[in-house]
Structure 1
Amino acid sequence: MARILFLTDFSEAYARNLLLGIARYAHAVGQAWSLCRLPLSIRDKFGIEAVIDLAKKMRADAVIGQFYNTDNVELFARNGIITIAQDFKARFTTIPNITGPHFLAGKMGAEYFAKKGFRHFAFYGTRDVVWSDERMQGFRETVRAANPSFTFSALCKNTQNALWDYDTNQLVTWLQSLPKPVAIMACDDNHAYHITEACQQGEGGGRLRIPDDIAVLGVDNDETICRLSSPNLSSLNQNIEQGGYDVAQLIDRILRDPATPREDVMVQPTHIVTRQSTDIYANNDQHIAEVLKYIHENISQKITVDELVELVPLSRRLLETRFKRSMGTSIYDYILQTRIEKVAQLLCEGMSVSEAAIELGFSDIKNLSRMFRQQRGMTPSEYRREILRLKH
Structure 2
Amino acid sequence: MKNSNVLVLMEWYDHRLREGIGRYAAEKNWYLTVNDGCRLPQGWSGDGIITLLNSRADMIRYIRRQPVPCVDVGAFRMDIPLPRICGDHREIGIVAADHLSERGFHSAAYFATEYQHPHALRGTGFAERFRAKTGNAPRFLIWEHCRSRDADNWQAQYRWLKRELKAMPKPLAVFCYCDYDAAKIESVCLEAGFAVPDDIAILGVDNDALVCENIRVPLSSVRHDLIRVGYEGAALLNRLMAGQPPPKAPGLIPPRGIELRASTDSLTHSDPLVRAMLQFFRDNPHRSIGVDDVAAALGQTRHKLEEHVDRVLGQTVYATLMRLRLYEVKRRLTLTDQPVKEIAEATGFCHAQHLNNAFRRFERCTPTAFRKRERRQCAAHAEDA
TM-based fold match above 0.5:
yes
Aligned 1:301-312 pairs, distance under 5 A: 312=298
Amino acid at match of 2:30: W
Aligned 1:260-339 pairs, distance under 5 A: 260-261=246-247, 263-292=249-278, 312-334=298-320
Contact 1:84 1:98 survives alignment (8 Å) = yes
2:94 to 95, 107, 110: 107
Contact 1:9 1:39 survives alignment (8 Å) = yes
Q: SS at the partner of 1:218?
A: strand
TM-score normalised by structure 1 residue count: 0.73
Contact 2:108 2:174 survives alignment (8 Å) = yes
What's the counterpart of residue 204 of structure 2? 218
1:181 to 171, 177, 187: 171
Pair 1:141-2:128 in alignment? yes
Q: Please give the alpha-carbon distance, in whole angstroms, between the structure 2 residues aligned to 1:299 and 1:24.
A: 46
Q: Please give the alpha-carbon distance, in whole angstroms, between the structure 2 residues aligned to 1:310 and 1:262.
A: 62
Q: Please give the alpha-carbon distance, in whole angstroms, between the structure 2 residues aligned to 1:33 and 1:298.
A: 59
Structure 1 residue 116, shift from structure 2 partner: 2.0
Gapped regions of structure 1 (runs ≥ 5): 43-49
What's the counterpart of residue 38 of structure 1? 35
Go from structure 1 to structure 2 and tell me whether the alpha carbon gap of 1:299 and 1:103 turns closer, same or farther (over 3 Å shift): farther
Structure 1 residue 330, shift from structure 2 partner: 3.3
Aligned 1:148-227 pairs, distance under 5 A: 148=135, 150=136, 152-158=138-144, 166=154, 167-202=157-192, 207-227=193-213
Q: SS at the partner of 2:54?
A: coil
Amino acid at match of 1:174: E
Structure 1 residue 200, shift from structure 2 partner: 4.4
Structure 1 residue 191, shift from structure 2 partner: 0.9
What's the counterpart of residue 7 of structure 1? 10
What's the counterpart of residue 214 of structure 2? 228
Q: SS at the partner of 1:269?
A: coil
Q: Please give the alpha-carbon distance, in whole angstroms, between the structure 2 residues aligned to 1:220 and 1:101.
A: 13
Amino acid at match of 1:39: D
Aligned residues: 361
Structure 1 residue 34, shift from structure 2 partner: 3.6
1:130 to 99, 102, 117: 117
Go from structure 1 to structure 2 and tell me whether the alpha carbon gap of 1:111 and 1:73 turns closer, same or farther (over 3 Å shift): same
CA deviation map 1:328-371 (0-9, x unaligned)? 3334545666788899999999x9xxx99779656487886565
What's the counterpart of residue 24 of structure 2? 25
* Identity value in percent: 23
Gapped regions of structure 2 (runs ≥ 5): 345-351
TM-score normalised by structure 2 residue count: 0.74
What's the counterpart of residue 243 of structure 1? 229
Q: Please give the alpha-carbon distance, in whole angstroms, between the structure 2 residues aligned to 1:80 and 1:270.
A: 36
Contact 1:73 1:83 survives alignment (8 Å) = no
What's the counterpart of residue 97 of structure 1? 84
Structure 1 residue 224, shift from structure 2 partner: 1.0
